[in-house]
Structure 1
Amino acid sequence: MSHDVLTPDDALSEPQEQNTQPLSEDYKSDRTQVETEKSPPKSTDKERIELPKEPLLKPYVPNENVHAQIVEDDLEEAQNRFRVDSTQTYTVAEDFKALEDIGKDKKKKEKSSEGKRKRDRVLRWKGITVEEMKKKRVERTILDDISGHAFGGELTFIMGSSGAGKTTLLNVLTGRNKGSLRTNGEISLNGRKMTSSEMKQLSAYVQQEDVFMASQTVSEVLHFAVKMRSPERLSKKRRENLVENMLTTFGLKNCENTRVGSVKEKGISRGEKKRLTIACEILTDPPVLFCDEPTSGLDSFMSHQVMKCLKDLAKEGKIVICTIHQPSTWVYQMADRLVVLCQGKVAFEGRTKNVEAFLVKLGSPVPDHASVSDHFIRVLSRNVREQQTDYEARMQKILKTQLSKDRLTLSESVRYQKSKDKNLRKKIHRSWCFQFFALIGRGLVQITRRKKYILARLILTVLVSWFLGMVYLQIPINRDNLLGIKGVIFATLQMNNILYMMPSLISFWEDYAVVVREYQSNMYSPSAYFMARSFTDSLLHLFYPIIFFSIIYFMTGLPITIIGMSTFLTMCIAMSMIITSLSHAVVSLCGNVTISLTVAPLISVPVMVFGGFLITVKAIPIYYKPLSYISWYHYAFEANMIALFKDHGVIEGCNQTSIMTSAMNMECSTGLKLIEDQDFDVDHFWMDFVAVGAILVFWKITPNNYYNSTISLKVVCGEKFYCFIWCRNPCRFP
């Protein structure tokens, strides 16, 4: 075990009377000093609750294995934790064994034991070093040998100027968004070394940006989160009671029926969004809560309200760690501990009450009527007139003054032997079918509320079909108009690119950030969302093609036959669904909407060129033949031509006797001859339906795997994520 190391809190605090019985060295900390300071120097037996043969102070910090056992119990219960109301939690083991029997009332003893158990949690990080890699070389060091700790029941701030490494440290602690960064160091909870997967099991992460479905109300967001995250399927009454308690606890009762909104759509305030995000994340009652810039973009009052919610959660015994740039005085006074970063190193780590004394020791006391946090950040910042050498020398002085060193080393960490391997993979409580139908229900509600979007696409469909119908208005089927007839049939298929590809691609990607957040929260799998979204979009693409068909078919005067009309309508619907599914596939594969707008035409245009209108099948060069075989335009065009002209008979204006002698009459004869001249085969009619159906199924199902990979890579890589096809050094799973 290591020897005691002097910390700023030790150096700056008044000497305290030490207890005669030593504590476990791994857990000697500022917490022990606080408890000693709070207890009177001389207490009577009546004033102190005594245990048999031992004073109370020592049992408060039990041995390492007891602390490690708390973590093991937390991991066992992680999959089934859930808040049944605003103050209680549901777990597999609902009551904890009392540490000592002191002869008190059973309920009070259990409550005291549980509260003490929660506050016994200590999160430590030792020697955290983060380096940005580029071409297998260290581009720069973001964090350099960072150490610190946080306690249960306390609110810890990670402060620093922009670029100091606050968010990077938080991401390392949570095991998220590491990307291509190389990290070293150790993270432990109660002396037990924690892996990234284990930390994710025991923690919740409130990201800086609050992302929700803009069309959902506050109440609907909480109802959906409760329904998807509860370990057991709650009744409607219990779910409503829980949501009601959450709304009241987080001050969201007045806006429960207000839509969340977005940048483009007015909704609730940013402070209410932040409280809603916190409410969704603590549903599983995690022992550790991480928040990235919870007050970013909020005014002083809203910041105070958000931090008050976090402070109340800390009072429940949780470890609450927040990154914060420059808090107001009200917000700063709520913090129990402070970690200040400067140039990727620790400038201060300790209790907030010792910050002013620390600044005095640096020779920069806090001026009268000045905020401590503002002054500290100002001390760490470079003045405009200050030379770089002077600034670096001043920073070295600050870093040397910071004496806080974490006592936990690799050799001191508890090696807790597991009796059996634990499955630490993410567990989604609801079945895939339940997720699928729940997401369909939410998707349908979302569609009904996106009235402007639906109206805009409806107007676009009407205008394009009307414009195309006016170009070929009541075109007669005769020798002079055969090229125009084929043109309108193929143009109908081609217009699906304009009508459905780009809108579908953009709208599908709008919810991407929401899906990432909800997937991280174990609400549902990406495959369930993809299939549900594909299904709801398909409902829209049953509606728009019918309108498109109704306008253009009758305006152009195509033959009114059952087989012709049904085939034409079927192919319009199939083309719209294929194009939409292709858009989903491209954006899922690329992982970036800007790149997708470039890639999508690269796929659709070649198959359209070899669809049979611009060049016949036999005239296609042999090296381009495969494109005609996978072209859905080819099969749809062939089916429409067969359905419309198979039984047409002699085409008006054609002279059958001159067809062999006049090159101008090559395409002029019967409907069958017109089909043959296009290199189409009448016997392929039903095969065309099969081919179009197979292509539709392919684009509906296959992209599901790409979407799963995209979401998973985004969760692992964070902002460093790039499409694994376009990136030379893609991020990899750890």
Structure 2
Amino acid sequence: MEEKTDVESQTQESSSALLFNRNLPVTLKFKDVVYKIKIQKLGGIFKKQQKSEEKIILNGITGSVFPGEMLAMLGPSGSGKTTLLTALGGRLGGKLSGTITFNGKPFSNSMKRNTGFVTQDDVMYPHLTVTETLVYTALLRLPGSITKEEKVTHAQAVITQLGLTKCKNSIIGDALLRGVSGGERKRVSIGQEMLINPSVLFLDEPTSGLDSTTAQRIVSTLWDLANGGRTVVMTIHQPSSRLFYMFHKVLLLSEGNTMYYGKGEEALDYFSSIGYAPSVTMNPSDFLLDLANGIVSGDSGEDQSTTKQALISAFRSNKAENFARWSTSWWQQFTVLLSRGLKERKHDSFSGLKIGQVLIVSFLTGLLWWKSDITHIQDETGLLFFYAGFWGFYPLFQAIFTFPQERMMLEKERASGMYRLSSYFMSRVVGDLPMELVLPTVFIIITYWMAGLKRTSKNFFLTLFSLLYNVLVSQGLGLAIGALVMDQKSATILGSVIMLSFLLAGGYYVQHVPAFISWIKYISTSNYTYKLLLISQYNSKDTYPCGEDKTCFVRDFPNVKTIGLNGKAVAVVALGIMLIGYRLIAYLALMRIGTKK
């Protein structure tokens, strides 16, 4: 048993050493940080006119954290501590002023790659296990110079360090899927940032919802990280006395103002020196939070406000690199994201419900169009248009939810500089191909032969190619709509309207379209797909029985004549432009919502 423990210890030390060796000490300084927001208020005689007022959330906050130090920001709800943490971590937009520097330089994309940020909300994929979650993060965020085996070892070391060994094979879970406990989930979230051994580590309420023993373990781990040369900044709510004295520095905030900044062990002496000493022995953090609320024994509400202003004024009168741009290569990011995405989404993509849905529609279609050969040309052309319509709608609505569902995860991981937007985007596009292409292929195999379409390999594969081409274009349209709207309900409505417009202008329902609206057919995926499907089945010399002892050319049949059996190259090129164009729109839209390339 001792031998096993020694081996595990050596593995963890080796892993930790490899991580720690690449760390560059960073000094964080912030001076006169001010943050304001605009609040809309009703005004005027009839209270219909809106007036905007500025509210100060942070009011001239100043401080510094050096390598090897751990700063804890305390304060009641609404004091501004989370806002300040977000500002220091380079994640706060809006009207922010003052200076925030890292080793004397402003926050940059390269600095972001070496900064860990643990949010209060733990956003993770529910179907992945603890080990898989941390391993995928390690593969994405650790440098390409470290082998895959070493990255896995890092992840296992963090699992051991955070006491996650017992649940390492348990899934994360969510509100609808039972997984690890809340405390374990929090530790996994912290572990994701600890993996990269960041020079600066920001944590928002890392002990929230945890028992005292687990909280002690996490803060001890963070203290070890700081002691190894990291710069650690956190917000924390009412830490125990044991935890309080582990903080190298404490920043006490009240209504966006600094009430105390300095060493944790000197906080009580400072307040005693200005006449605010605790009347009984108590937890220092409880005493500081009482002061931040303006609470002194026997104070009224008015006295509390006066007390806060007095403490803020007292403090004001007494106060006086270069990183690699990306940890891993584009290809490494792409392969890891692709692997993670396939593993996470296989439960949904290849669910029995979706497979069953397509199979039922396939057999129903085959039975409705059973042996509908060229003598039933009206039915055949109707089947081909149904191909274009069904496999325009289906992939559209599969893709339309892609980015809205992953918005929180994307914002979290991109803000941490975990990967390029392009590698994420391509992994999603490629990762969705199996589901997007396998099911329509099965659909064609079933319906093509049941419906009695031309029984030659050439015609079959041309039909299959046309359908799969349409699927990819419709998927791109869905991705673009989802990325532009980023709201599932609104995106669904918009997608329905667009696709119905394409179907109506597709050349099957209306053959004499008014000139002022005929332009829609030139942007209709259904129109070009229908043309390719017709060309895959018919040529200009094909005939069909159009009366007793009379044959007519297929090209003259109304549903075919409107579309025509020529212009194949134009249709292929038009769909190709859409295939690329829609995905480009989706990519640009993702950049627009707050992710940088």
Give your verdict on TM over 0.5.
Answer: yes
| Partner secondary structure for residue 507 of structure 2 | coil
State the match for 2:89 in structure 1.
Answer: 174
Deviation readout 1:363-382 (Å, 9 max, x if unpaired): 77657586443454345448
Alignment identity in percent?
25
Higher mean alpha-carbon deviation, 239-248 vs 123-132, is at 239-248
Matches within 5 A, 1:123-138: 123-133=28-38
Cα 1:535–1:237 shift into 2, 3 Å: closer
1:644 and 2:542 correspond: no
Structure 1 residue 160: deviation in Å? Answer: 1.8
State the match for 1:57 in structure 2.
Answer: none
Q: Which runs of 4+ in 1 moved over 6 A?
A: 134-137, 361-364, 385-388
State the match for 2:505 in structure 1.
Answer: 610
Please tell me the residue identity of whatever aligns with 2:556.
K
Larger CA Rg, structure 1 vs 2: 1
Matches within 5 A, 1:152-167: 152-167=67-82
Please tell me the residue identity of whatever aligns with 1:464.
V
Structure 1 residue 637: deviation in Å? Answer: 1.0
1:696 and 2:579 correspond: yes
| Partner secondary structure for residue 358 of structure 2 | helix
Residue among 345, 358, 370 paired with 1:461: 358
Deviation readout 1:440-492 (Å, 9 max, x if unpaired): 333333344x268532321222233445555x35375688x765544333223
Gaps of 5+ in 1: 1-82, 95-117, 408-421, 658-667, 716-734
Gaps of 5+ in 2: 1-12, 41-50
Task: State the distance in 2 between where 1:579 and 1:689 align.
Answer: 14
State the match for 1:50 in structure 2.
Answer: none
State the match for 1:442 in structure 2.
Answer: 340
Residue among 222, 233, 237 paired with 2:145: 233
State the match for 1:296 in structure 2.
Answer: 208
Please tell me the residue identity of whatever aligns with 2:164.
L
Does the 8 Å contact 2:110/2:326 carry over to 1?
Answer: no
Cα 1:270–1:615 shift into 2, 3 Å: same
Please tell me the residue identity of whatever aligns with 1:149.
S
Deviation readout 1:412-443 (Å, 9 max, x if unpaired): xxxxxxxxxx887x712433334333433333
Task: State the distance in 2 between where 1:500 and 1:406 align.
Answer: 62
Structure 1 residue 505: deviation in Å? Answer: 2.3
- When the two structures are superposed, what TM-score results if normalisation uses the length of structure 2? 0.82
- When the two structures are superposed, what TM-score results if normalisation uses the length of structure 1? 0.68
Task: State the distance in 2 between where 1:93 and 1:379 align.
Answer: 38
Deviation readout 1:134-179 (Å, 9 max, x if unpaired): 7997632111112233344333211222222112111222222x22
Does the 8 Å contact 1:146/1:345 carry over to 2?
Answer: yes
Structure 1 residue 256: deviation in Å? Answer: 3.1
State the match for 2:3 in structure 1.
Answer: none
Deviation readout 1:240-288 (Å, 9 max, x if unpaired): 4433433322323333333333444333333333333333324443332
Does the 8 Å contact 2:338/2:428 carry over to 1?
Answer: yes
State the match for 2:394 in structure 1.
Answer: 499
Task: State the distance in 2 between where 1:93 and 1:507 align.
Answer: 36
Task: State the distance in 2 between where 1:451 and 1:600 align.
Answer: 21
| Partner secondary structure for residue 141 of structure 1 | strand
Task: State the distance in 2 between where 1:599 and 1:326 align.
Answer: 48
Cα 1:681–1:498 shift into 2, 3 Å: closer
State the match for 2:443 in structure 1.
Answer: 548
Please tell me the residue identity of whatever aligns with 1:145.
G
Please tell me the residue identity of whatever aligns with 2:339.
G
State the match for 2:187 in structure 1.
Answer: 275
Task: State the distance in 1 between where 2:535 and 2:102 align.
Answer: 71
Matches within 5 A, 1:180-199: 181-188=94-101, 192=104, 194-196=106-108
Deviation readout 1:31-50 (Å, 9 max, x if unpaired): xxxxxxxxxxxxxxxxxxxx
1:253 and 2:150 correspond: no
State the match for 1:623 in structure 2.
Answer: 516
Please tell me the residue identity of whatever aligns with 1:504.
A
Task: State the distance in 1 between where 2:348 and 2:524 align.
Answer: 34
Task: State the distance in 1 between where 2:543 and 2:241 align.
Answer: 90
| Partner secondary structure for residue 245 of structure 1 | helix
Structure 1 residue 291: deviation in Å? Answer: 0.9
Task: State the distance in 1 between where 2:113 and 2:572 align.
Answer: 49
Task: State the distance in 2 between where 1:710 and 1:306 align.
Answer: 34
Cα 1:298–1:397 shift into 2, 3 Å: same
Structure 1 residue 184: deviation in Å? Answer: 1.8
> In angstroms, what is the RMSD of aligned CA positions?
3.8
Does the 8 Å contact 1:271/1:306 carry over to 2?
Answer: no
Structure 1 residue 698: deviation in Å? Answer: 3.2
Matches within 5 A, 1:339-354: 339-354=251-266
| Partner secondary structure for residue 235 of structure 2 | strand
Structure 1 residue 91: deviation in Å? Answer: 5.3
1:632 and 2:525 correspond: yes
Please tell me the residue identity of whatever aligns with 2:315.
Q
Structure 1 residue 335: deviation in Å? Answer: 2.8
| Partner secondary structure for residue 164 of structure 1 | coil
State the match for 1:661 in structure 2.
Answer: none
Deviation readout 1:304-336 (Å, 9 max, x if unpaired): 332222122122232211012333455444333
